[in-house]
Structure formats: structure tokens, C-alpha cells
Amino acid sequence: MKRQLALGLLLAASAAGACATLQQIAALRNVEFAIEGVGDGRLAGIELTRVRSADDVSAVDAARFAAALADDELPLEFTVDVRAENPAENSTTARMVRFAWTLLLDDRETVGGVIDREVTLPPGEPQIVPVRVSLNLVEFFDGNTQELLNLALRFAGARSESANVKLRATPTIETPLGPMNYPATITIVGNR
């Protein structure tokens, strides 16, 4: 009798844990992701917020670009702000504990990374997940200094609203049974 009671309690606990896990998976599946913005761009150490076109590049900055290109390097750094929103009608707070991502620029796969910090996604309260990106622009795109500067401005500078920036991502959610990956890779785009 004690064995049956213990087995019954174990099964009930397992069922409750499985139900909670399924609720959390369903909550994450319903989370909407979108690129909220792109900014904080730097090209070869030069802030792109003050550069609108090649005419805005000072002689010193042009020399930096030329020196970087001579070394076959043009480091581009920027932040992609991803908005994660658990719909208000969800009854469960989603807890994303990992966010593996790959950056696509003009539909070209470039660099990737992982964010290993917990983001709590309460229903109806959008959260911004900043994704810091760093890449060598000449590894992925050809062109002269002005063409590469214009690309950088589109992707991470003053003209980022016209850029084709996407993230391919696999979020991971914490469940009572441990972390679980999102069932499929998702492509995150801007909400235009």
C-alpha cells in the first residue's frame, strides 16, 4: 500500500512538473521577437552616429579607414536591440536563459554568438535584449572605402532604418525539468 501511495505521489509530481514545463514552453513559443533598433555603431573605432555620409569623414578618420583597409581589416561594432514580448494573454512568465544568434546582413550570414543571461518575460511587458555585434566588414563584403563606409552606415549608423539586418536565433527557456531549446530556429526582423 505504501509503495502504491509513493508511486502515485511520484506520478502526480511528475505530471505537475510536466504540466508546468508545457506551460513554460507554450509561453516561450508565443513570445514575439523583433529588432527594435540598431545603433551604437563604430567603424574602425569611429562613432558612426556623427557620420551621415562620406563627406562627414574627417581627414584623420579617413586615414584610420585607409590604415585598417591596408591591413585587410575594417572592424564594425554595433548593438542590435531585440524586443522580446510575451503576449499579455499568456498566463505564464517565460524565463529565457540563453539566446544563441547568427547575424545576417543583406541576407548574408556573418557572425554569431550566445547571450547566457536570464531574461524574465512577464506577460504584456516587452523586454529589450541587447545583442552586441563585432565583425570584420571586409571578411564578408567587397568594395572600396566609400562603399564599405556606406554599408556600415546602413547596418549600424545613421541610415540603419534602411538596412537589411536580421538575426537567426534559438532561444532557450528554463523549465522545471531543466533548460529547453526553442523547438526551431527563428528569424528575427525589424517591425516595419
Distance CA(134)–CA(43), nearest Å, equals 10
Q: How many whole angstroms separate alpha carbon 3 and alpha carbon 181?
A: 35
- Of 145, 183, 141, 181, residue with least CA distance to 163: 141
Top CATH class of 2-188 equals mainly beta
For residue 37, the cross-strand partners are 81
Q: Where are the domains of the chain?
A: 2-188
Q: Which residue has the cell 494573454?
A: 89
pLDDT digit string, tens, across residues 123-179: 999 999 999 999 999 999 887 777 888 888 888 765 555 568 999 999 998 877 788
Average pLDDT rounded to a whole number, residues 106-111? 93
pTM of the model: 0.79
Model confidence at 119, in pLDDT bands (50, 70, 90)? Answer: very high
Strand partners, 119: 96
Q: How far is CA 24 from CA 17, 96, 167, 184, in A?
A: 11, 10, 23, 16
Helices (H), the chain: 2-30, 59-70, 137-140, 145-156
What is the overall mean pLDDT for the chain? 81
pLDDT tens digits, 58-101: 888 888 888 888 888 899 999 999 999 988 988 888 889 999 99
